[in-house]
Chains A and B, each alone.
Chain A
């Protein structure tokens, strides 16, 4: 039998935690579910149990803020269900999850989705080689696990994570071979006015760049990765200058960097499978990371009782996520009848002001981090786009030429997006390729989300249920 609760919060990052804390404070019986070992999300990801951070590591702002958040949750009325994967959400908010002790289900009167993002990497030859990992993946290794991806690491892609990861590697005693930034210096300069809203973060960024310079790490602006060499592991990374739209400049010779790992990222994509599964309205906003749920000022989606907050509802960064999460939690409490209108409006007004400020910075960073418009067009025909099913660009183009006009058609014809990651890694690339032929991303549409949201063994889904549990009608009288 499912547990009846007031509010279920999906995702325990800055947005989810703020929502759960705010709603629980007003008396909502709240459960927050996350698949990680401890709350914190990607930004405040906890170190493994009993791995103690010492010295400078213990003073890192993310570590300190994360520990403070986890302490606050412990003293709150929020039930935190970590190591639980939500695999189904049904209308009326019946939520199913698998955890270490097996199956769990809840029926909630309201839901806040704070599902965060997945990382986007625009494919290039060799991107499936072991040793190529995401930029966000590298921050998890460095900050939470205390590990580096290799001995000779190239850091590439775009956005502020480049310098953060590069400096993290320097600090770990493994200065990267090079930091390869798609953005030219001019793009960073144009972002300066928006960056002025967060002088603390600008100072940190400058600190990272200074650490890279002191370590003598080459910082190659306006460059991109054209290929990775190696079969079962990375042996070298080839880079070339790129134009501002992302096209490699063929007239310039590519450089070869010997390396055993490549860290690369082209921005983040909001994880919208839960809002899609519940059939909330969505809209396409390139600067917000792609398809996002339509939200009002109260973080409410088009489905009554369903709220969304944080980067999963549109990229704006951790500071904005926290404020948005708090608004969503308060709005959920109001929806549940636990917070009256007057007090709600009084409490959210300053949060909304803060959110507008935090967003300016976060969105400027998101723009710097987004892939360049021409990049998808430069993917080679035989390069794999869908990692799970090994579907190449050529196969996608063939399906489009044969008449696939919409994402679900493309999936059915090619198996692109049908594998265990459920399209999380390839959706953006496949949709951008299709959009070039059908008049834009809105026309290309999105993949229909289906349960199970995460792969799970059939035995886990069925649980203790056996053949004898099937209700059999009485035999008809003879």
Chain B
């Protein structure tokens, strides 16, 4: 079962993005953090000091836990809309 709610929402057709070199289908416009969640990717980075796994926490751009690299730029994945062909790198924070 997907973490996407399938009823009462009409989404645009999926596009392909690249996450750590692997293709992933996602709907354009949805938040990148939501696309990663739907693919079962929860851990997005390691905390800098203790190296603990971290994932999206506040989903509103405040906590910075969901920071990933998109096309070479560090972005909060919760506020980043999915675009066809975006290249995502996890793990750096």
Interfacial residues, chain A to chain B (CB-CB below 8 A): 35-37, 42, 47-58, 118-119, 128-134, 136-137, 140-142, 145-151, 172-174, 231-233, 271, 384, 387-390, 419-421, 424-425, 454-455, 457
- Bound-state CA distance A178–B14 (Å) is 33
**Shortest Cβ distance from A137 into B: residue:** B59
Task: Tell me the minimal C-beta distance from A146 to chain B in angstroms.
Answer: 4
Contact: A147 with B58, CB < 8 Å?
A: no
Provide the residues of chain B in CB contact with A388, threshold 8 Å.
Answer: 47-48, 64
**Shortest Cβ distance from A424 into B: residue:** B62
Partner of A35, one of B29, B31, B54, B61: B61
**Beyond A145-B34, A173-B7: 7 further Cβ-contacts under 8 Å?**
A35-B79, A48-B27, A50-B12, A51-B27, A137-B59, A140-B59, A424-B62
- Chain B, interface SS category: loop
Q: Which chain B residues numbered 39 to 88 have a C-beta less than 8 Å away from chain A?
A: 42-44, 47-50, 52-65, 67, 73-74, 79, 81
Provide the residues of chain A in CB contact with B67, threshold 8 Å.
Answer: 420
Provide the residues of chain A in CB contact with B1, threshold 8 Å.
Answer: 151, 174
Task: Tell me the minimal C-beta distance from A425 to chain B in angstroms.
Answer: 5
- Bound-state CA distance A132–B31 (Å) is 18
Interfacial residues, chain B to chain A (CB-CB below 8 A): 1, 3-5, 7-12, 27-31, 34, 37-38, 42-44, 47-50, 52-65, 67, 73-74, 79, 81
Task: Tell me the minimal C-beta distance from B17 to chain A in angstroms.
Answer: 14
Contact: B42 with A57, CB < 8 Å?
A: no
Contacts known (A55-B8, A232-B42); A141 close to B34, Cβ less than 8 A: yes
Contacts known (A421-B64, A424-B62); A172 close to B55, Cβ less than 8 A: no
Provide the residues of chain A in CB contact with B9, threshold 8 Å.
Answer: 47, 51-54, 57, 146
Contact: B59 with A148, CB < 8 Å?
A: no
Contact: B59 with A387, CB < 8 Å?
A: no
Contact: A134 with B57, CB < 8 Å?
A: yes
Contact: B59 with A390, CB < 8 Å?
A: no
Task: Tell me the minimal C-beta distance from B91 to chain A in angstroms.
Answer: 12
- Bound-state CA distance A48–B50 (Å) is 35
Contact: B42 with A131, CB < 8 Å?
A: yes
Contact: A232 with B29, CB < 8 Å?
A: no
Provide the residues of chain B in CB contact with A56, threshold 8 Å.
Answer: 8
Contacts known (A232-B43, A390-B48); A48 close to B3, Cβ less than 8 A: no
**Shortest Cβ distance from A85 into B: residue:** B61
Contact: B10 with A51, CB < 8 Å?
A: yes
**Shortest Cβ distance from A56 into B: residue:** B8
- Bound-state CA distance A119–B9 (Å) is 27
Provide the residues of chain B in CB contact with A150, threshold 8 Å.
Answer: 3
Contact: A390 with B64, CB < 8 Å?
A: no
Contact: B30 with A145, CB < 8 Å?
A: yes
- Bound-state CA distance A145–B49 (Å) is 32
Contact: B54 with A387, CB < 8 Å?
A: yes
- Bound-state CA distance A232–B64 (Å) is 18
Task: Tell me the minimal C-beta distance from B29 to chain A in angstroms.
Answer: 4
Contact: A145 with B31, CB < 8 Å?
A: yes
22 pairs, CB–CB < 8 Å, chain A vs chain B = A48-B27, A49-B81, A55-B7, A57-B9, A129-B53, A131-B55, A133-B56, A134-B58, A136-B58, A145-B31, A146-B5, A146-B9, A147-B34, A387-B54, A387-B63, A388-B48, A389-B49, A390-B52, A420-B67, A421-B62, A421-B65, A424-B62
Partner of B65, one of A232, A387, A454: A387
Contact: B12 with A51, CB < 8 Å?
A: yes
Provide the residues of chain A in CB contact with B53, threshold 8 Å.
Answer: 129-130, 231-233
Contact: A51 with B30, CB < 8 Å?
A: yes
Contact: A137 with B60, CB < 8 Å?
A: yes
Provide the residues of chain B in CB contact with A48, threshold 8 Å.
Answer: 27, 29-31, 81
Contact: B49 with A133, CB < 8 Å?
A: no
- Bound-state CA distance A425–B47 (Å) is 15
Residue among A134, A141, A150, A389 facing the most chain B CB atoms (10 A cut-off): A141
- Bound-state CA distance A232–B44 (Å) is 10
Provide the residues of chain B in CB contact with A457, threshold 8 Å.
Answer: 73-74
Task: Tell me the minimal C-beta distance from B67 to chain A in angstroms.
Answer: 7
Contact: A130 with B42, CB < 8 Å?
A: yes
**Shortest Cβ distance from B31 into A: residue:** A145
Provide the residues of chain A in CB contact with B64, threshold 8 Å.
Answer: 388, 419-421, 455
**Shortest Cβ distance from B42 into A: residue:** A130
Residue among B5, B48, B74 facing the most chain A CB atoms (10 A cut-off): B5
Task: Tell me the minimal C-beta distance from B19 to chain A in angstroms.
Answer: 15
**Shortest Cβ distance from A48 into B: residue:** B29
Provide the residues of chain B in CB contact with A455, threshold 8 Å.
Answer: 64, 74
Provide the residues of chain A in CB contact with B59, threshold 8 Å.
Answer: 133-134, 136-137, 140-141
Contact: A118 with B58, CB < 8 Å?
A: yes
**Shortest Cβ distance from A35 into B: residue:** B61
Partner of A140, one of B5, B37, B60, B74: B60
- Bound-state CA distance A460–B56 (Å) is 24
**Shortest Cβ distance from B51 into A: residue:** A390
- Bound-state CA distance A425–B73 (Å) is 23
